[in-house]
């Protein structure tokens, strides 16, 4: 079920005031902003954990909060799932009992899948009988996601769910979020301060700062909007890509197909035909105007520049290559020296070791 | 062991009857008050906390006097008891249980408040977002997570109830076979110079206290390892 959310709320804590007015559409919406900007407070208001001081929240045209007339639907009746940064699993229950908690409370007609299906999706079969206190960070977050999905919410709120995870688990969870959003038609609001995650996952993004909405639009605005530049760590921006494993190339390398692009990667443990997620740092991509020859990097991809963000340093060059897009980070001087312009044909050079697999085995 | 007018078995039984009744009266009230103070942002929290701790700060004899004012023969509660049950409360084992209940309540409730404050709010929020109402969340999440702290509080209250003396002697007297509990019997034996009989009772009471406190500490240590993220 898809939900559109209309928000017009204010919430005050001492000197801080959250004041947001927005109409959130379907798909995955990112909430982006620095620490203490009001992101979690916004999620708590939508979930019903905190009451706004005033305003209105409607989920799928149904008012769940209104200050006038007074309406306040309790959290358990809103059908809004919530995945916390620290997973918040019930420590006195096993993994299975955690998953069953919401599943057993969900009316049968609302269950659009089975518990076993969720267990299979998130690869939880081996840990179902274990207590949650002995799980790794990645396992805990998979269980937390599974527990929320098992209650079959209309909307899923995710509060920095990948913040404390290692790279492979981040890739796995991102892949599953995309899959669930697509196949269950489940809308999500995803809070993070990672530009890479936002670009990889979110269809649209709302940037908030000091409790106010600064800008909203397509997630790529995070790379070319000056209003967010001062608190974004552009140096660490990475392209997160999903493809299908072709198989090994030699004993050290594998091949991955992303759209029409064949990418040589370090050896992948996943079998041929399986989905895999990889990460490539924007600063690791070399841009050439001409086809390089006699070069050690195995990935030389012919691309077209779709946009150039001139306002920031580094300058981000968005490129289209056979159905996928890659962003390269160059210095302003390099862009000037090469005379790069939108629609130019360029070659992107990527070493195999610059491609980092984000796999969970 | 013969203790003269009253045998040891009956004495221990009456003491347990009084302490268990006092504890059973306190448990639901202490859980409710513990939840109010530990989990809710209520107005007048300071006043409530002061009131529930008052028996801890007052001399037990003063608490006993207040109780006498409340449940005495001419007091409203005393008259109500005569009207409903046809009997007085004062100078009965029920008065002993009420006195033990009031005096042991602060210890029990303070332990429960601490246990409830230790439960991570996000766990309760998670339960609510999964479809559990406030009651289900309380019984399935909050209560199990503070179970050890709750049991520690119950044991602490029980051990205080079984040792209660000051308030009990004012409101229930020291009547062998009717209201005389172990501490009151010890007092009587010492008064009468029956030191060896008093010593036996002192040993029993010390053993019971040590055993209860060992279980209490074990539960407290176990509780501190639970309920964290």
Which of A227, A253, A288 is the endpoint of a domain?
A227
* Burial readout B22-35 (b: 16 or more C-beta within 10 A, e: otherwise): bbebbbeebbebbb
Tell me the residues of B at the A interface, defined by beta carbons under 8 Å apart. 120, 122-123, 125-134, 136, 140-141, 144-145, 226-229
Looking at the structure, do residues A95 and A44 belong to the same domain, yes or no?
Answer: yes
Looking at the structure, do residues A300 and A341 belong to the same domain, yes or no?
Answer: yes
Looking at the structure, do residues A204 and A304 belong to the same domain, yes or no?
Answer: no
Length of chain B: 229
The shortest CB-CB distance from B129 to any of A75, A90, A91 is to: A75
- State pLDDT tens for residues B58-98: 999 999 999 999 988 888 888 888 888 888 899 999 999 99
User: Does A233 fall in a domain?
Assistant: no
| Distance from the B49 Cα atom to the nearest Cα atom in chain A, whole angstroms | 26
Residue of B nearest to A152 (CA): B130
Q: Residue B75: left (phi > 0), alpha (psi -120 to 50), or beta?
A: beta
Looking at the structure, do residues A214 and A311 belong to the same domain, yes or no?
Answer: no
Q: What is the pLDDT along chain B (229 residues), one digit of tens a residue?
A: 455 545 788 899 999 999 999 999 999 999 999 999 998 888 888 999 999 999 999 999 999 999 999 988 888 888 888 888 888 899 999 999 999 999 999 999 999 999 999 999 999 999 999 999 999 999 999 999 998 889 989 999 999 999 999 999 999 999 998 999 999 999 999 999 999 999 999 999 999 889 888 988 887 777 665 544 3
Domain count along chain A:
2
> Which CATH number goes with the domain that contains A64?
3.40.50.300
Looking at the structure, do residues A163 and A312 belong to the same domain, yes or no?
Answer: no
* Burial readout A93-124 (b: 16 or more C-beta within 10 A, e: otherwise): bbbbbbbebbbebbeeeeeeeebeebbebbeb
Question: CB of A241 within 8 A of CB of A278?
Answer: yes
What are the domain boundaries of chain B?
8-224
| Distance from the B214 Cα atom to the nearest Cα atom in chain A, whole angstroms | 24
* Interface contact flag, A76 B122, Cβ < 8 Å: no
State how far Cα B23 lies from the chain centre.
Answer: 4
Round to whole Å and give the CA distance between B120 and B67: 38
CATH architecture of B8-224: Orthogonal Bundle (1.10)
User: Does A183 fall in a domain?
Assistant: yes
* Interface contact flag, A87 B125, Cβ < 8 Å: no
Task: For chain A of 361 residues, list the mean pLDDT of each consecutive stretch of 10.
Answer: 79 92 90 89 95 94 93 96 93 96 94 93 92 90 95 94 80 88 92 87 91 88 76 81 90 91 91 89 94 93 89 83 88 91 95 85 51
Count Cβ–Cβ pairs < 8 Å, chain A vs chain B: 69
Q: For residue B83, give the 3-state DSSP assignment.
A: helix
Looking at the structure, do residues A15 and A98 belong to the same domain, yes or no?
Answer: yes
Q: Give ∠ CA A324-A328-A329 in degrees, rounded to 5.
A: 155
Looking at the structure, do residues A204 and A262 belong to the same domain, yes or no?
Answer: no
Looking at the structure, do residues A187 and A283 belong to the same domain, yes or no?
Answer: no
List chain A residues with CB under 8 Å of B149. none
The shortest CB-CB distance from B130 to any of A84, A87, A105 is to: A105
Domain residue limits at A334: 238-357
The number of beta carbons lying within 10 Å of the beta carbon of residue B178 is 14
Looking at the structure, do residues A31 and A107 belong to the same domain, yes or no?
Answer: yes
Looking at the structure, do residues A279 and A194 belong to the same domain, yes or no?
Answer: no
> Which CATH number goes with the domain that contains A308?
2.40.50.100
Beta bridge partners of A65: A57, A72
Looking at the structure, do residues A207 and A276 belong to the same domain, yes or no?
Answer: no
Looking at the structure, do residues A209 and A306 belong to the same domain, yes or no?
Answer: no
Return the pLDDT at A225. Answer: 75
Return the pLDDT at B5. Answer: 47
Return the pLDDT at B229. Answer: 36
Residue A237: exposed, middle, or buried by beta-carbon count in 10 A (0-12, 13-18, 19+)?
buried
Return the pLDDT at A3. Answer: 53
Q: Biggest alpha carbon distance in chain B?
A: 66
């Amino acid at each position: 079920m898809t939900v559109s959310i209309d928000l017009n709320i204010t919430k005050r804590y001492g000197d801080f005031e959250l004041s947001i007015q927005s109409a959130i559409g379907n798909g995955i919406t990112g909430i982006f902003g620095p620490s203490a900007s009001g992101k979690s407070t916004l999620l708590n208001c939508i979930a019903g954990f905190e009451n706004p001081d005033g305003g209105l929240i409607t989920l799928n045209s149904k008012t769940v909060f209104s200050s006038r007339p007074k309406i306040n639907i309790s959290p358990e009746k809103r059908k809004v799932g919530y995945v916390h940064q620290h997973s918040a699993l019930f420590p006195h229950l096993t993994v299975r009992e955690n998953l069953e908690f919401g599943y057993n409370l969900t009316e049968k007609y609302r269950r659009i899948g089975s518990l076993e299906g969720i267990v299979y999706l998130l690869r939880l079969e081996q840990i179902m009988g274990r207590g949650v206190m002995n799980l790794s960070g990645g396992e805990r977050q998979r269980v937390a996601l599974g527990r929320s999905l098992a209650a079959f919410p209309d909307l899923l709120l995710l509060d920095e769910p990948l913040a404390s995870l290692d790279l492979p688990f981040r890739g796995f969870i991102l892949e599953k979020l995309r899959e669930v959003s697509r196949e269950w038609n489940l809308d999500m609001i995803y809070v993070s301060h990672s530009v890479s995650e936002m670009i990889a996952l979110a269809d649209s993004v709302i940037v908030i700062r000091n409790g106010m909405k600064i800008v909203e639009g397509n997630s790529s605005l995070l790379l070319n909007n000056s209003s967010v530049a001062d608190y974004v760590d552009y140096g660490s921006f990475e392209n997160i890509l999903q493809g299908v494993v072709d198989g090994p190339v030699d004993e050290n390398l594998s091949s991955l197909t992303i759209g029409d692009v064949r990418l040589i990667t370090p050896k992948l443990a996943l079998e041929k035909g399986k989905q895999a997620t990889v990460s490539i740092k924007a600063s690791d991509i070399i841009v050439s105007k001409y086809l390089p020859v006699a070069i050690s990097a195995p990935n030389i991809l012919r691309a077209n520049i779709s946009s150039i963000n001139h306002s920031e340093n580094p300058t981000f060059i968005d490129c289209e290559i056979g159905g996928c897009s890659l962003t390269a980070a160059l210095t302003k001087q390099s862009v000037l020296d090469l005379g790069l312009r939108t629609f130019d044909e360029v070659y992107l050079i990527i070493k195999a070791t610059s491609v980092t697999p984000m796999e969970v085995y | 062991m013969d203790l003269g007018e009253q045998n040891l078995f009956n004495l221990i039984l009456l003491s347990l009857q009084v302490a268990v009744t006092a504890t059973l009266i306190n448990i639901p009230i202490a859980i409710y008050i513990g939840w109010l103070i530990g989990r809710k942002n209520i107005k007048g929290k300071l006043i409530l906390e002061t009131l529930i701790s008052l028996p801890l700060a007052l001399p037990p004899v003063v608490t006993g006097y207040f109780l006498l004012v409340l449940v005495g023969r001419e007091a409203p509660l005393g008259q109500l008891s005569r009207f409903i049950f046809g009997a007085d409360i004062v100078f009965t084992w029920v008065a002993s249980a009420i006195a033990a209940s009031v005096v042991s309540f602060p210890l029990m409730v303070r332990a429960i408040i601490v246990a409830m404050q230790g439960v991570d709010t996000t766990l309760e929020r998670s339960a609510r977002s999964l479809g559990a109402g406030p009651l289900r969340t309380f019984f399935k999440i909050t209560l199990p997570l503070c179970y050890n702290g709750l049991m520690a509080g119950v044991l602490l209250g029980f051990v205080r109830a079984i040792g209660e003396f000051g308030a009990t002697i004012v409101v229930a007297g020291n009547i062998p076979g009717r209201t005389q509990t172990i501490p009151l019997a010890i007092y009587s034996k010492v008064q009468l110079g029956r030191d060896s009989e008093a010593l036996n009772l002192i040993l029993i009471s010390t053993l019971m206290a040590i055993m209860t406190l060992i279980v209490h500490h074990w539960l407290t240590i176990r509780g501190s390892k639970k309920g964290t993220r």
